[in-house]
Amino acid sequence: MIDQLDEAFKGPAWHGPTLLGSLRGVDARRAAWRPAPGRHNIREIVVHAAYWKYVVRRRLTGEKRGRFPLRGSNWFAVPGKRTWEDDVKLLVEQHAQLRDAVRRLPRRRLRAIVAHARDTAAYTIRGIAAHDLYHAGQIQLLKRLMRK
């Protein structure tokens, strides 16, 4: 399961860019570019992905207390004091924490229900890996839509 997480996040992967790989060459200006009013930009997607890694880690560990480093949930307005580099670092840190939680998860817990009265730990771990790949594709599309 750790291999699945890492392949989707940083590779190597046979399918194309990973989430972290999709950020290669993206600077703060490109990360903030929006294809249309009301549409998400790369920077928002990065923080969103970091948030869901945090949520999955908490589901797997059963952690009741804790707080994501930013206020809010799911989609975040990019705070003025944070930099693009801060957001990428947050994503990398949340991946490392999730990876560690999965590494420590006893094998027997993979079938345990961790969310929605039906989602097992294994299903949730596979889901967060798929989430990374979905957003990697989204980022690749946004990069292609941008003017150079």
CATH number at residue 72: 1.20.120.450
Q: What is the mean pLDDT of the chain?
A: 93
The boundaries of the domain holding residue 78 are 2-145
Helices (H) and strands (E) counted in the chain, each on its own, are 6, 2
62-71 average pLDDT score: 86
pLDDT of residue 78: 73
pLDDT of residue 79: 66
pLDDT of residue 56: 96
In whole angstroms, give the CA distance from residue 96 to residue 79: 23
CA neighbor of 51 nearest in space, from 119, 138, 135, 143: 135
71-98 average pLDDT score: 91
16-29 average pLDDT score: 95
Confidence band for 129, pLDDT divided at 50, 70 and 90: very high
In the chain, the number of structural domains is 1
Phi-psi region of 11 (alpha: psi -120 to 50; beta: other; left: phi over 0): left
